[in-house]
Amino acid sequence: MKKLGVLVCTNASIDYIPHEEDIRIIRSTILMGGKEYVDYEELTANRFYEMIEEDPSLFPRTAMASTGTMLEAYEKLRDEGCDEAIFITISSKMSGIYENAMIARNMVEGIKVTVFDSKTVGYLQCKMAFLAVKMGKEGKSMDEIVEALSFIRDHNHIYFAVSDLKFLVKNGRLSNAAGFMADVLKIKPLLEIDKSGAVVTVEKIRTFHKAVERVLEKFLEETEGKDIEAFIIHANNPETAQYLREQVLAKRPELGEVKDYLLTPAVGAHAGPKAVTIGYVENR
């Protein structure tokens, strides 16, 4: 049976999900306060958000891993006996990681690498990675794996609210920021990850509380009658995550549970502290 290697980028936040799978992580670097930190290894989410809240003047930026780093990761999998590998990246509309991963793929020899654009970020990347590992162990072909991951990619939706929009705007991660730049610090909009994998504004809202309520409303409206897995992702905001969970389960008790996941610093640098997301993926 062929041996499959599975990789994700640091933006998947897979470090915060307990698991025993051998999934390799391509890590980004956090640039903040004149220092550099390797995501998770040198700066965990809890400490990162503490630093931002302790010193509001800190403005984090990120630097993705080099093509050389990705090439080394592919070669390591090859040397460990992998015949194929799949790298599940953050949306290509949010980062250049996908492009770098493709360049490295074209450089490596002795292993066939598939680079899969998740068109999302966070938990769904992890869900895809866990499924890829499972299917690899079952001896499924790469075409079958890509088809299964594509279903997840094409049948999910994420809404979110941020407490401070400046992180998304200054880091260039908000696709349609033009048009309200002059008013940007007063806006707490309802945002979404659209079908192309870009972060876009859905509605302009004036307070974070109202944005959270609107996120909840949109989620409930859109999931009516659907067979889904719901999830919450947050930037060190367990109180709001718990509130959303309670509200969703009160209206959708059939879901049974709504797990929440933490945003790693490499993503929190763009979303900002207290950001909260609620999303779903349709069950197949």
Average pLDDT per consecutive 10 residues, the chain (284 residues; last block may be shorter): 94 96 97 95 95 88 96 98 97 96 97 98 98 97 98 96 74 51 63 92 88 95 95 95 97 94 92 92 95
The residue among 157, 143, 158 whose CA lies nearest residue 112 is 143
Q: Kindly state whether residues 271 and 177 are assigned to the same domain.
A: yes
In terms of domains, do 278 and 149 share one? no
Q: Are 167 and 143 members of one domain?
A: no
Angle in degrees, CA 282, 283, 284, rounded to 5? 115
Q: How high is the pLDDT of residue 206?
A: 83
Look up the pTM and report it: 0.93
Q: What is the pLDDT of residue 170?
A: 64
How much is the pLDDT for 190?
86
Give me the pLDDT at residue 179, please: 41
pLDDT of residue 57: 86
Whether 10 and 145 share a structural domain: yes
- Residue 137 sits in a domain whose CATH number is 3.40.50.10170
Is residue 46 one of the residues assigned to a domain?
no
pLDDT value of position 162: 85
Q: Taking each helix axis from N to C terminus, what angle separates 238-251 and 208-223, rounded to the nearest 10 degrees?
A: 30
Domain containing residue 271: CATH number: 3.30.1180.10
Sequence-ordered list of residues with C-beta below 8 angstroms from that of 2, at least 6 positions apart, any chain: 83, 84, 139
Transcribe 177-190 into DSSP letters. -TTSGGGGGG---E
How many domains, in total, are found in the chain?
2
Residues 167, 235 within the same domain: yes
Whole-number pLDDT of residue 201: 86
pLDDT of residue 1: 73
* pLDDT attached to residue 89: 98
Apex 179 CA angle, 175 and 182, nearest 5: 110
218 found inside a domain: yes
What is the pLDDT at residue 169? 67
Residues in contact with 108: Cβ distance below 8 Å, sequence separation at least 6, in sequence order: 71, 74, 75, 78
CA–CA distance, 180 with 125 (Å, rounded to integer): 31
| Domain carrying residue 228 | 156-282
Residue 50 counted as domain residue: no
Tokens at 51, concatenated: 């630093």
Give the β-pairing of 61-63 and 29-32. Answer: antiparallel
DSSP the chain: ---EEEEEEGGG-GGGS-----EEEE--EEEETTEEEEBTTTB-HHHHHHHHHH-TT---EEEPPPHHHHHHHHHHHHHTT-SEEEEEESPTTT-SHHHHHHHHHHH--SSEEEEEE-SS-THHHHHHHHHHHHHHHTT--HHHHHHHHHHHHHSEEEEEE-S-THHHHHTT--TT-TTSGGGGGG---EEEE-TTS-EEEEE--S-HHHHHHHHHHHHHHHHTT--EEEEEEESS-HHHHHHHHHHHHHH-GGG---EEEEPPHHHHHHH-TT-EEEEEEE--
Measure the CA–CA gap between 71 and 90, rounded to whole angstroms: 18
